[in-house]
Amino acid sequence: MSDTNTDTRTPLLEFRNINTHYGAVHILKDVNLAIYPGEMVSLLGGNASGKSTTLKTLLGMVTPTSGEVVLDGEVVNDKPTSYRVERGVTMVPENRRLFKRLSVKENLELGAYLRNDKAEIANDLERIYTMFPRVKERLNQKSGTLSGGEQQMVAMGRALMAKPRVLLMDEPSMGLAPALVQTNFELIQQIHEEGIAIFMVEQNANMALSLADRGWVLQTGRVVLDDTAENLLANPELQKSYLGGA
């Protein structure tokens, strides 16, 4: 399936005919994706459809068996995760995965591990404190002692500390109290408005598509739909299988 987007700009991050295997199991099958600077896109799909593998392959934590991962026009298949992180690709992992035994401040600092611009880092820290005042109150607490909502803030803060151009989000609303889900999406919106591209993998498809510009639907490792968010929301088949007919 070819890219239907007519945008002529260079994609920030791109999959060209990606195939991946886990042992003998074929996970991603000829997947093509493109994420452009500053946009918000969403990847939908059921369990075991290959969403997490897509994210890990983008970051270099999984090596594709064929095809190309392209970052700013450069093939980065054999580049380590740190190389991609340095060039602005960052992820907020599923379930947040904070370093629970490290303090909140240390978690944030580790987000900026590859940066050496001390003054800028201090600046960014301040920015995150203003964004999440509750985080500032808990700076020296071990992050494992925080509530789910607070942990989500730290996880986003930690990702932002890497100064990303594109933020990959793996199920950002999973495990959050329903009341927090809305706040969480507002935060994502807020980050997006600062010009950071968002690539969101989300079960809550309605919510995700209402924010996103475009979306893909992944089924058993294959991209079966690739369209604008409005069209996807209006797609009756998708409504039936993923959006709960809402």
Partner 1 sequence: MTTAIRAKGAAKTNVDKFLTLLRVLLIGAISVGLLAFIAQQIDPGNAFAKWTHDGQEANRLTGEQFKGLIVSGLSQGAMYGLIALGYSMVYGVLGFINFAHGEVFMVGAFTGFIMSNKFDEAGLWEGGAFIPTVLFTVLIATLIATGLAVLMERVAYRPLRGSPRLIPLITSIGVSFFIQNAVILLFGAGAKSYPPNPDWLQDDWILGIEGVKIVVIIVAAISMAGLWYFVERTKTGKAMRAVAEDKEIASLMGINVNRTIVTTFAVGGAMAGIGGMLWGLLFRSVIATTGFLPGIKAFTAAVVGGVGNLGGAMAGGVALGGAESLAPLTLLEPLGISGVSQLRDAVSFVLLILVLLIKPTGLFGERLSSDDRA
Query: Contact positions toward partner 1, by CB under 8 A?
Result: 59, 61, 80-82, 85-86, 90-91, 93, 97, 99-102, 106, 109-111, 113-114, 158, 162
Helix residue ranges, H only, the chain? 51-59, 81-86, 104-111, 118-131, 133-137, 148-160, 178-193, 205-211, 229-234, 236-241
Q: How far is the CB of 118 from partner 1 (least distance, A)?
A: 11
Q: Which DSSP symbol is given to 103?
A: B
Q: How far is the CB of 231 from partner 1 (least distance, A)?
A: 33
- Between residues 72 and 109, which has the closer beta carbon with respect to partner 1? 109
> 77, 71 in Cβ contact below 8 A?
no
User: Mapping DSSP to helix (H, G, I), strand (E, B) and coil, where does residue 243 land?
Assistant: coil
- Between residues 46 and 144, which has the closer beta carbon with respect to partner 1? 144
In the numeric block, the tokens 């799909």 are attached to 45
> 14, 64 in Cβ contact below 8 A?
no
- Cα 72 to the center of its chain, rounded Å: 17
- Between residues 11 and 111, which has the closer beta carbon with respect to partner 1? 111
> 128, 135 in Cβ contact below 8 A?
yes
Q: Which two tokens stand for residue 35?
A: 């994420």
Question: How far from each other are the two terminal CA atoms of the chain, in whole angstroms?
Answer: 28
- Between residues 82 and 189, which has the closer beta carbon with respect to partner 1? 82
- Between residues 110 and 187, which has the closer beta carbon with respect to partner 1? 110
Q: How far is the CB of 13 from partner 1 (least distance, A)?
A: 15
Q: How far is the CB of 72 from partner 1 (least distance, A)?
A: 17
> 7, 213 in Cβ contact below 8 A?
no
- Between residues 103 and 239, which has the closer beta carbon with respect to partner 1? 103
Q: Which DSSP symbol is given to 10?
A: P
Q: Are strands 197-201 and 166-170 parallel, antiparallel or unpaired?
A: parallel
Q: What is the DSSP string of 113-124?
A: TT---HHHHHHH
- Between residues 108 and 207, which has the closer beta carbon with respect to partner 1? 108
Q: How far is the CB of 113 from partner 1 (least distance, A)?
A: 5
> 99, 143 in Cβ contact below 8 A?
yes
Q: How far is the CB of 82 from partner 1 (least distance, A)?
A: 4
Q: How far is the CB of 101 from partner 1 (least distance, A)?
A: 6
